[in-house]
């Protein structure tokens, strides 16, 4: 694995990434995030952009891992259904590939709270773009 993939990304820290549980070996990526009060509004409800970001990051992580970091997914569209509000604490983001072609992929994902309740679901269409290699 190259140095690019070993360094924590600033965006991951902003989103509260704690660990990658599954890189996709099971066919799904599973990432653990820690929702914080500074990501909330209205006394403890996580802002929807973070919810979207957690699912989107899990989907992106899976595509990059499945393509051996040869491709990066650029969102063409993403639809999120918010089923229940997220609160500070452990958030489990899970993503899977519905179909992947040579230039486009169709992805799905969800987040759950520590109790296993589904808080949001998403589907996304992405364009696969060759990753630029550092230096």
Per-residue pLDDT tens digits for 31-69: 999 999 999 999 899 999 999 999 999 999 999 999 999
DSSP symbol at 87: -
Contact call for residues 91 and 34 (beta carbons, < 8 A): yes
Domain layout of the chain by residue ranges: 21-130
Would you say residue 128 has pLDDT above 60? Answer: yes
DSSP symbol at 59: H
Q: Show the tokens assigned to 57.
A: 């990051």
Would you say residue 2 has pLDDT above 50? Answer: no
Contact call for residues 83 and 119 (beta carbons, < 8 A): yes
| Selection from 80, 82, 86 nearest residue 108 by Cα | 80
CATH of 21-130, one of 3.10.129.10, 2.40.50.140, 3.40.50.970, 3.30.300.170: 3.10.129.10
Residues of the chain above pLDDT 70, percent? 93
């Amino acid at each position: 694995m190259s140095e690019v993939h070993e360094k924590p990304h600033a965006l991951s820290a902003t989103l509260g990434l704690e660990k990658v549980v599954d890189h996709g070996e099971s066919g799904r990526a599973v990432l653990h995030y820690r929702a914080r009060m500074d990501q909330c509004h209205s006394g403890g409800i996580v802002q929807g952009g973070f919810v979207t970001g957690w699912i989107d990051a899990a989907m992106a992580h899976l595509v990059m891992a499945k393509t051996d970091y040869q491709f990066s997914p650029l969102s063409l569209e993403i639809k999120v259904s918010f089923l229940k509000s997220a609160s500070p604490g452990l958030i489990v983001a899970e993503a899977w590939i519905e179909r992947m072609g040579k230039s486009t992929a169709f992805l799905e994902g969800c987040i759950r709270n520590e109790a296993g309740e589904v808080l949001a679901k998403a589907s996304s269409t992405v364009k696969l773009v060759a990753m630029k290699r550092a230096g």
